[in-house]
Amino acid sequence: MDIKILADSACDLTADYYNKYDIAFIPLTVRLDDKDYEDVKTIDPKTVYHAMRDGKTPKTSQASAQRFKSIFTSHAEANQPLVYLAFSSQLSGTYQAAKMMEQEVKESYPDAPIHVIDTKCASLGYGLVVLHAAKLAKQGATLQRIVESSKSCALHMEHIFTVDNLEYLYRGGRVSRTAAFVGSLLKIKPILHVEDGKLIPLEKIRGSKKLFHRMLEIMEERGDDLSNQTIAISHGDDFERAEQLASMIKEKFHVKDVIIEMVGSVIGAHSGPGTIALFFLNDTDFDRPA
C-alpha cells in the first residue's frame, strides 16, 4: 500500500510540490485584523508582508489537534501507512498536538502504521526534508527506510538566515528591544541559524554588502558535497535578492539544483519582509532518493 507523507504549512512548499509528490498538508493558523486564516488555504504570504509593512503584527497558532485526529483515524482505519514530518517542536506546539492525537488514535488502533517525526527544521529546510521523504515514497521505499532516512536528512539540515529588520524578531521575542534598536541604528544585519530546532543568533555583520559573502563562507565551512545536493533559498517577499544569492551559490559551488520560494505566512509573521534564508546539508553520507 502507498505510504502517505504529511507535512504542515510551515514547510513553505507550494501547491506544485504537494501535487507532484502527492504530499498531504495541514495548515497552521494566522491571525490578522482579528480574523483567523488557514495558512496557504485562505491567506498568502504577500498579504502578511504588506500588513507588516503597514505596522500590523500578525499572530500565529499551531495546527488543529482535531484535524490531526481525523487524518490519523482515517489512515488507521484503512491501515494505510502515514509519516507526518512536523515543523520544529521548539518553534511551534504543532508537533506536540500531533503526538497527542497519535497516542489517542493508537489506543483504538495499536498497530496503526502512523509515524510522527519532529524534524526540528523550519521553512524550506523543513521543506527539503519533506521532499526527501516524498521522493522515497514515490520510489516505493519501505516505511522503515522513509522514517530513518528522513530523520537523518533532518538531522543534517543547515539553516543560515538573515532578517532585514530586527524589529520583527524583537516582536516575536527573539532579540531584546535594545538589540533591535541598536541594530537598526548601526545597520547591523544578524546571521542566525537553527540549533536543535531553536533559532540561535550566530554573527552580526555591519552592512549588507558583506552579508551574502559571509553566508557563503559559512556554507563552505559547513556544507558537504554541495554541487550534488538540492539547495533551497526562501525569502520574505524579496525575490531579487534571493536570485542574487542563488547566482553566487551556483558560481561558487557549481550547484545545479537551487529551489527558491517565499517564506510562508506563518514563519514570515515572525521574521518579517526582507528575510533571506539558506538551506543545505552538512553531511550527505546517508540513504537518499535515487
Let me know the angle formed at the C-alpha of 199 by 50 and 117, rounded to the nearest 5 degrees: 100
CA distance 279 to 157: 7
Q: Is the pLDDT of residue 26 over 90?
A: yes
Q: Looking at the structure, give the CATH architecture of the domain made up of residues 157-281.
A: 2-Layer Sandwich (3.30)
For the full predicted model, state whether its pTM sits above 0.85: yes
For residue range 32-73, list pLDDT tens digits in order.
999 999 999 999 999 999 999 999 999 999 999 999 999 999
**Edge-to-edge strand order for the sheet containing 157-162?**
198-206, 188-195, 157-162, 276-281, 231-235, 258-262
For residue range 230-252, list pLDDT tens digits in order.
999 999 999 999 999 999 999 99
pLDDT of 273: 95
CA distance 135 to 17: 11
CA distance 234 to 28: 18
Q: How many CB atoms lie within 10 A of CB 206?
A: 11
Amino acid present at 17: Y
Q: Which of 143-147, 260-264, 284-288 has the lowest mean pLDDT?
A: 284-288
Which class is domain 4-156?
Answer: alpha beta
All CATH 3.30.1180.10 domain ranges in the chain, comma separated:
157-281
All CATH 3.40.50.10170 domain ranges in the chain, comma separated:
4-156
- DSSP string computed for 185-199: HHTEEEEEEEETTEE
Q: 216, 252 in Cβ contact below 8 A? A: yes
- DSSP string computed for 128-157: HHHHHHHHHHHTT--HHHHHHHHHHHHHTE
CA distance 144 to 115: 10
For residue range 158-181, list pLDDT tens digits in order.
999 998 876 776 666 656 655 555
